[in-house]
Amino acid sequence: MNTLEESTVLDTKVLEMNMGPQHPSTHGVLRVKLKLDGEKVVDAECIIGYLHRGIEKISENRSYIECVPYYDRTDYIAAVANVYGFLLGVEKMMGIEVPERGRYIRIMMVEFNRIASHLLWLATHAIDIGAMTVFLYCFREREEILKLFEALFGARLTTHAFRVGGLWKDLPPGFEQAAHKFLDEFPARVDEYEQLLTHNRIWLARTKGIGVISGKEAIQWGLTGPPLRGSGVDYDLRKARPYGGYEEFEFDVPLGENGDTYDRYVARIEEMRQSRLIIQQVLKRLPGGPVRGKAPKIVKPPAGEYYSGTESPRGELGYYIVSDGSAQPFRVKIRPPTFIGLQALRRLVKGHLMADVIAIIGTLDIVLGEVDR
């Protein structure tokens, strides 16, 4: 992997280059100003804000219930998980209890969402590095999950999944069978991806030793989620500060060792498998009863501040909600995991080649909707 010195043999002046905001591999409208020495990255500056919609400010002028659909649109890849985090906070402030069936179904859908999100990540990451076929394979599986979403929520992407106090309605008939069918097939499919990638020499050459960050440094940069765990730090909110009933399920938190792109890749692949296990446990133990608890028509939390942190597919997603006792939040501050994670990009890409920038952006799994809000 120490080929960088050689590749700098024939270079001259620093070339400044704009990657994005319209570029196939910046996953939206990220713009990176690269300073290149030949093909080696000397410096990288992220320029964000092209997708800024002021969601936090809009929230201040909406009632708590009206806010929810906006959070579908921050991280649109993991809309379910985003809404979930906000609602957990609101319910905690109001002291609303969600019935057990509701809680279980919520966890199931969030984990489905995690799988779907990781599939999308794998698809784009693979095609960034040039493996076209994995892209479409991943979309095939994601499609199944989106169909489940459609059956339950009536929408595929911006699902407006949950309501204060639980779900809008119970599972539709046939949902469980469909879910079981998907879960049974899924491991073989993941093996298929791994066949194409995990032991592929080119893939290893492109990901091992790229964008290495130690656990300590990862914490300092505020990385969370798979990028943190890829560096070997055992920190998963579902285990560290269980919420919403996660403590009732058994699952492992996959960890990497070297903190490189490959480890983050392996961690995410393994996380998909673990999510599947959680869903299977949920389906096995799914109790009867209502899916929605008692909740007032107008949500007026008592004045105060509350922080709700959940483990979204991308890392720690935090909602810091300030209430002044009215029906509208006084302030909602979102802690988007990849907004924080993106700042490490400069540190990660320095000294690598231009092609690695693509791999590293991919490995951070950014969603610009979330970064810019």
Partner 1 sequence: MIENLIIYFLIPFIKIGAIVLILSGAIAYLTLLERKLIAHIQVRLGPMRVGWHGLLQPIADGLKFVLKEDIVPSKADALIFTLAPMISLIPAFVVFSVVPFGPPGMFEGLLRGILSRFLESASVERIVSNPIASGGFVTDINIAVLFVLSVSSVGILGVILGGWASNSKYPLLGALRSSAQMVSYEVAMGFAIISVLLYAGSLSLVEIVQQQQAGGWWYFFIQPVAFFLLLVCGMAETNRLPFDLPEAETELVGGFHTEYSGFRFSLFFLAEYANMITVSALAVTLFWGGWLPPFPNVPWLGFLGIIPPVAWFLIKVFLILYLFIWVRGTLPRFRFDQLMNYGWKVFLPIALGHVILYAAILAI
Partner 2 sequence: MELIFFYILAGILVTFSILTVTAPNPIRSAVYLISALLSMAGLFFLLEAEFVGAVQVLVYVGGIMVLFLFVIMLVNVREMETQRRASRHWKTAVVLGVVLSSELIFLVVRGADIFSTEGIGSNLIVEAQTRNTESVGSLLYSTYLLPFEIASILLLVAMVGAVVLTMKEK
Partner 3 sequence: MIPVTHYLALAAILFVIGTCGVILQRNVLTMFMCIELMLNAVNLTFITFSRFLNQLDGQIFVLFVMTVAAAEAAVGLALIVILSRRADSLDVDQANTMKW
List beta partners, residue 315: 312
Considering only residues 13, 95, 132, 288, which one is a binding residue for partner 1 as defined by CB under 8 A? 132
Contact 286, 101 (CB under 8 A): yes
Q: Is 13 in the site for partner 3 (CB under 8 A)?
A: yes
Binding-site partner at residue 9 among partner 2, partner 1, partner 3, none, CB < 5 to 8 Å by type: partner 2
Contact 317, 81 (CB under 8 A): yes
Q: Is 302 in the site for partner 1 (CB under 8 A)?
A: no
Q: Is 12 in the site for partner 3 (CB under 8 A)?
A: yes
Q: Is 298 in the site for partner 2 (CB under 8 A)?
A: no
Encoded tokens for 150: 């459609």
Binding-site partner at residue 127 among partner 3, partner 1, partner 2, none, CB < 5 to 8 Å by type: partner 1
Choices 94-102, 131-139, 284-292, 308-316; region in contact with partner 1 by CB under 8 A: 131-139
SS3 85: helix
Residue type, 72: D
Angstrom CA distances, 185 to 179, 199, 244, stand at: 10, 22, 28
Encoded tokens for 126: 């693979």
Considering only residues 6, 250, 284, 298, which one is a binding residue for partner 1 as defined by CB under 8 A? 6
List beta partners, residue 119: none
At closest approach, how far in Å is the CB of 8 from partner 2?
6
Q: Which is nearer to partner 2, 8 or 328 (CB)?
A: 8
- Restricting to residues 204-223, name those near partner 1 by CB under 8 A: 205-206
Q: Is 131 in the site for partner 1 (CB under 8 A)?
A: yes
At closest approach, how far in Å is the CB of 5 from partner 2?
8
- Distance between CA atoms of 31 and 46, rounded to whole angstroms? 6
Contact 161, 79 (CB under 8 A): yes
Contact 167, 106 (CB under 8 A): yes
Site string for partner 1, 305-344 (x = CB under 8 A): ----------------------------------------
- Restricting to residues 7-26, name those near partner 2 by CB under 8 A: 8-13, 15
Host H or E run for residue 211? none
Cis peptide, bond prior to residue 21, ω within 30 of zero: yes
The terminus-to-terminus CA distance of the chain in angstroms comes to 37
At closest approach, how far in Å is the CB of 11 from partner 3?
9
Residues that bind partner 2 (CB under 8 A): 8-13, 15
Residues that bind partner 3 (CB under 8 A): 10, 12-13
